[in-house]
Amino acid sequence: MKFRKICAMMLSALLVVSSLGVASAQTPETVQAKLGAVEKDTYGVEQTGALLDRINKLEKDYIGSHRSGSMMARVDALYDDVYTNSTTPSILAQLNAVEWNISHEVSMNSVEKRLADMEMTIDGKTTEGTYKKRISKLSKASFGAVELPLQQVIVPKNTLIKVALVDPVNTKNLKKGDVIRYKVASDVIVDGKLVFAKGEPGDGTVLKVKQARNFGRDAELEIDYKQTKSIDGTYVSTFMGEESKEQMKSMAMAAGASLAGIIILGPIGVIGGAFVKGKNIDLPAGTEFYIQTKADTQLFGVVTTAE
CA–centroid distance for 184 within its chain:
6
Q: What is the pLDDT of residues 121-130, one digit of tens each?
A: 999 999 999 9
Judged against a pLDDT cut of 90, whether residue 169 lies above it is answered with no
User: Do 170 and 292 lie in a common domain?
Assistant: yes
Query: Which pLDDT score, from 0 to 100, does residue 25 have?
Result: 54
Q: What is the pLDDT of residues 203-241, one digit of tens each?
A: 999 998 888 776 567 778 888 999 999 999 999 999 988
User: Do 198 and 248 lie in a common domain?
Assistant: yes
User: Do 231 and 201 lie in a common domain?
Assistant: yes
Domain that holds residue 248: 2-26+153-303
Name residues whose C-beta falls within 8 Å of residue 8's C-beta, 6 or more positions apart in sequence: 257
Name residues whose C-beta falls within 8 Å of residue 243's C-beta, 6 or more positions apart in sequence: 158, 160, 290, 292
Cα–Cα distance, 6 to 247 (Å, whole number)? 13
Domain boundary among 148, 167, 194: 148
User: Do 211 and 158 lie in a common domain?
Assistant: yes
Query: Which pLDDT score, from 0 to 100, does residue 269 have?
Result: 30
User: Do 14 and 42 lie in a common domain?
Assistant: no
Closest CA to 34 of 73, 89, 85: 73
User: Do 200 and 252 lie in a common domain?
Assistant: yes
User: Do 298 and 216 lie in a common domain?
Assistant: yes
User: Do 186 and 243 lie in a common domain?
Assistant: yes
User: Do 22 and 35 lie in a common domain?
Assistant: no
Cα–Cα distance, 28 to 37 (Å, whole number)? 8
Position 39 confidence tier, pLDDT thresholds 50, 70, 90: very high
Query: Which pLDDT score, from 0 to 100, does residue 81 have?
Result: 94
Contact 194, 300 (CB under 8 A): no
Query: Which pLDDT score, from 0 to 100, does residue 57 have?
Result: 97
Q: What is the pLDDT of residues 81-109, one digit of tens each?
A: 999 998 889 999 999 999 999 999 999 99
* Whether the model pTM is above 0.75: yes
Q: How many domains does the chain have?
A: 3
Name residues whose C-beta falls within 8 Å of residue 80's C-beta, 6 or more positions apart in sequence: 90
Instruction: Output the CA torsion 146→151→155→159 (10° steps).
Output: -40
Contact 226, 238 (CB under 8 A): yes
Position 79 confidence tier, pLDDT thresholds 50, 70, 90: very high
Position 197 confidence tier, pLDDT thresholds 50, 70, 90: very high
User: Do 144 and 157 lie in a common domain?
Assistant: no
Query: Which pLDDT score, from 0 to 100, does residue 208 have?
Result: 87
